[in-house]
Structures are given as structure tokens and as C-alpha cells.
Amino acid sequence: MVIFAPDGKSFWTNLNFESLTICDTISAKVIRQLVPTRPRIEGTVFSPDRTLVVLAWSASLEAVLIDTRTGTELRRLEDCYWYDQQLVFSPDGKMLAGCVPLTKGATLRETVLRFWDVATGKRLRNLELKTDATLWFAFSADGQHILATRYALRFVPSSNDPKRPLQGMHRHDSSDDFVECTFWNSVYETQTGKNFGLVGGIKKQRGLPYMESQHLALFCDRVREFRVRIGPAGRNTVIPWPRRFFTKVLSDSSICLWDMAVNKDIAVFRDFQKGRVDGVVLAPGNTVLAVVGRCATAQSNQLRLWDISAVIREATQRELQHPKKLLETLWEDLGDKDDAKAFQAVCSLFAVPDQACSFFRQSLKPFTKPSTCDLLKLIANLDDNMFSQRQKAIVALEKASEDAMPILLAALESPGLSLEASTRIRALVDRGISRQTLRFLRAVDLLEHWASPEAEQLLATLTKGTPDAWLTREAQASYDRVRLAKVHCRTP
């Protein structure tokens, strides 16, 4: 385990599982060491500012909160213990959430998400997840929502040899093999536990190489920074924060540094080749790469640090220009309902802010919401005798975004609705959030992250759509956050 301080100048590690050591990032010299009273630390979770750490043990079913500056044990957490690496601090550090299995006899029945008050160590509430699968979960950036993810992987050998065993996830060594990955994401309100339903289930069918599937599934794999946007009918989408650089562990335990802007690796580290990699962490600012693992000839785990600042500097200073055809492809992918594919497009566009913002200016327009009267006419046209009128109505209703959903759902309850119209409305509802809406929301989020004068100007233009439309309100919220951030920067 390696956790960097927010400034990246130091890091914590529990390489031997017996103590916590804080080291200087540049020199790797030990600054301080914490030795808990109980042996064999199984779980280590740091608060966002790294001033608090939770140490947990599954064998003794306990967890304690420790001040990292003094090494003082502050308090025990009520009914808290380490289960499959599932403890997370809220962004403000005031709350802790953990995944806890509930058993009935010797059988695992379901998993609950449990919340604790960090100030008192007391349990606050349980959130029932109604599943017995292992979950990854994270708080949204504002702490108001929880994204819970569970997944299933099934490896399929390219050869049809029934005697050939399927490879494990960390020892998959054939680029010819394929994988089926299924992800389920659910969003919950942190305070009330309200379930907003499934978000962007992903399934990779046979035909996609394993490493590519793993790369594209980064959206679901331990997402830590994201925003939840909830529409008028309660349907939602999760917008992950864009990143340019990722690390990938290859099948031979080599580690490559991946640049999403050019969609290829820019450096490969082979120190752990043919060995085992247990953890890979990028320091804040992408200046240092830390890897915990075991070389092929070593008998114990090792921690190695690489200075990658020169590699990152060279990549970021290189002038990037995406061809127009690629920009058009990324623009289409931005509206894809496959979250992983859309996330790749988001990260690729994030690396070329000036070029992408200029493209957005031509393609992104303020949203105009149809009136209630117009929506009712469109619903009536779903039963029109002419096929062209029915198709126009379907396209217009889909373009109306989530603002049409409450009226469509109400129309389904209408006793006078014909079977044909009901079928068409149900098909519209079951399609989920439209591609146009997803594209608009993801583009708005990119503009907010760029926060350049050009991006701010385009956000201001998007706020001039229909005032009470969902997409206009989302654009207004992003614009307000950009303005507020600039005010805070100017405040001494």
C-alpha cells in the first residue's frame, strides 16, 4: 500500500503489514513510523488530508482511528472492520463508509453500506444494497451521492480447446484470449439512502481483447472522482472527472504509463517483469510513480519509485492536434451509452482543450425545451395514421431530453391511450437517457474542467437555453461553479 500526501512530497506505506511508515518522496528516507498495538494490519484508509488513518483487522472485527501526526489512537469505530478493501472517507473527511456483509447462518445473504461519524466513531446508518456480490464504491465530489459498482468477468480462450484452463485476472498471458465483462452501477443518495437506479451497465462481448477491455473499463474500476447529474424523472448519469494519464499492469507484470491523448503508452517499466505487482500509484501532479510488488527473484515485497516528471513534461509540452475526422468520432463517442467508451472520448478531448472547445462552439447549442402543449401534441402524433408523422414525433420526443419523461410517464397512466402509442412511449422510456443528452452533459463537464475564458464563454452561451430545462440548469450550475472558483482564487 502506498498513499501520497496531497502535495506529493511524502508518502505513507505499510509494506510489511506491521507498521505505518511515512517517507520523503525524493529521498525515500523515513520521516516517521507508527507501530500499532495489534499485529498484522489488514486495512489502511487515510482521510483526504492524510491527518487521520483508519487501521482495520478482519480477524478481530475491529477498526481504530489514529492521528497520523502524533500516532495517538483516538477512538474505535463501532461495528467496523476490514472487508475486501471496502472503507472510504467522504470528501470532507467527516464520514466513513464501509461495505459490510450480512450473514444468515453460514451463508452470505446481502451486503450493506454502513456509515460512521468520524468525530465520534458511532455508526450512523445502514444502506441496504440487496446484493451478495463484492462491491466497489465511492463518494461523488460533493459527497452527496455514492456510486456502488459490482462486476463479473468471464474469460473465453480464443482456441476452442475444452482442456485449456481459463486464466485468472492477474495471470492472463494471452493477447488472443477474450473476456466478457459485465458491470452494474447504482447511485444512492448519501443522507437518505434513496436509490436512483442502475447507471450505464457495461457488457463487453467476445471479440474484445482482454487488455483493451481492462483499459476501457477504467470508468467502472475504482472510480474516485465523479459528479452525478439527476434528471427531472429521477433518471441519472455519472460523469467521471477526466484524466489524461493512467497506469496499466501488463500480463508479464510490466507497468506502462498510458497517455489517453494519443491512446498509447509513453513509458514502460519492466523491473517487476515475470514477478508480481500488488499496487501502482501516481503521485499528485503525476511526478512520481510508486509500485509495490515482488520481482521474479525476490523473496519479499518491494517498493520502488520512479521520477516520471520528465516523461510527463515531454508529453504535455508536445503540441497535440487531433485530425478533424478524429474530433468528429470523439464527438459521437461522447454520447455513447457505453460509459467506458465515452470516458475514453472524454479523456482524449480533455488533452486538447483549445481545439476541442473550438469544435464544441460549432456543435454545442443552447437547449430549447418544447412546451407542455407541444409535448402533448407529439404524444398524440404517436398514434397518427401516417408513418412519417409517427417517426417525427418519436425523434422530437427523444430530442426533448429528460424534460419529456414526466409527461411520457403520466401518459402511460392515461386510460385512453391506445396500445400502439403505449408501446412506442414505453420504448422511448426504456431507451434511457438519449445520446444527445449524454453528449451535452459530458461536454458541459469538460468545459467546467477546462475553465478557460473560451470555455466559460461557451458555458455562458449554453445558459441562455430554456430557463427551466434540465440541460440549461446543468449548464448554469457548471457556469456558476467556474465563476465561484475564480472568486475564491482572487480572495487573499
pLDDT tier for residue 473 given thresholds of 50, 70 and 90? very high
How buried is residue 177: exposed, middle or buried, by Cβ count under 10 Å (0-12/13-18/19+)? Answer: buried
Q: Please state the rounded mean pLDDT for residues 54-71.
A: 81
Query: Considering the domain boundaries, does residue 316 fall inside one?
Result: no
How many percent of the chain have pLDDT more than 70? Answer: 80
How buried is residue 131: exposed, middle or buried, by Cβ count under 10 Å (0-12/13-18/19+)? Answer: middle
On whether the CB atoms of residues 355 and 386 are closer than 8 A, the answer is: no
Backbone Cα Rg of the chain: 25
Query: Rounded to an integer, what is the distance from CA 358 to the centroid of its chain?
Result: 27
Query: Considering the domain boundaries, does residue 405 fall inside one?
Result: yes
Range of the domain at 446: 360-492
Query: Considering the domain boundaries, does residue 234 fall inside one?
Result: no
pLDDT tier for residue 211 given thresholds of 50, 70 and 90? very low
Query: Residue 92: which CATH number?
Result: 2.130.10.10
**In DSSP terms, which residues pair with 288 in a beta bridge?**
307
Query: At CA 364, angle to CA 349 and CA 147, rounded to 5?
Result: 60
Domain boundary among 129, 161, 179: 129
DSSP 209: B
Q: What is the distance between the terminal CA atoms of the chain, rounded to a whole angstrom?
A: 37
Cell 506505506 locates to 13
Q: For the chain, what is the domain count?
A: 2
List of residues 6+ apart from 246 with CB closer than 8 A: 215, 218, 257, 258, 260
Query: Considering the domain boundaries, does residue 453 fall inside one?
Result: yes
Domain boundary among 129, 159, 177: 129
**In DSSP terms, which residues pair with 57 in a beta bridge?**
62
Q: Quote the CA–CA distance of 69 and 113 in Å, as a whole number.
A: 29
Sheet strands (E) in 35-72: 43-46, 52-57, 62-67
Sheet holding 20-24, edge to edge: 2-4, 10-13, 20-24, 30-34
How many percent of the chain have pLDDT more than 90? Answer: 18
Query: Considering the domain boundaries, does residue 200 fall inside one?
Result: no
Q: Please state the rounded mean pLDDT for residues 60-76.
A: 85
Query: Considering the domain boundaries, does residue 42 fall inside one?
Result: yes
Sheet holding 145-156, edge to edge: 136-139, 145-156, 178-189, 195-204
CB atoms within 10 A of CB 350: 19
DSSP 385: S
Q: What pLDDT is attached to residue 293? A: 85
Query: At CA 136, angle to CA 135 and CA 139, rounded to 5?
Result: 125
Domain boundary among 108, 129, 150: 129
pLDDT at 162 exceeding the cut of 50: no
Across the chain, mean pLDDT equals 79
Sign, Cα dihedral of 463, 468, 469, 475 = positive
pLDDT tier for residue 441 given thresholds of 50, 70 and 90? very high
Q: What pLDDT is attached to residue 464? A: 94
Mean pLDDT is highest, among 70-84, 175-189, 206-220, for 70-84
DSSP secondary structure letters along 140-165 = -TTSSEEEEEEEEEEEE-SS--TTSP
Q: What pLDDT is attached to residue 488? A: 59
List of residues 6+ apart from 378 with CB closer than 8 A: 370, 393, 396, 397, 400
**In DSSP terms, which residues pair with 258 in a beta bridge?**
246, 265
On whether the CB atoms of residues 78 and 121 are closer than 8 A, the answer is: yes
Q: Which of 150-154, 315-319, 350-354, 382-386 has the lowest mean pLDDT?
A: 150-154
Query: Considering the domain boundaries, does residue 474 fall inside one?
Result: yes
Q: Please state the rounded mean pLDDT for residues 258-268.
A: 85
**How is residue 298 written as a grid cell?**
525476490
Query: Considering the domain boundaries, does residue 87 fall inside one?
Result: yes
Q: What pLDDT is attached to residue 198? A: 64
On whether the CB atoms of residues 100 and 83 are closer than 8 A, the answer is: yes
Q: Please state the rounded mean pLDDT for residues 178-194.
A: 70
Q: What pLDDT is attached to residue 219? A: 42
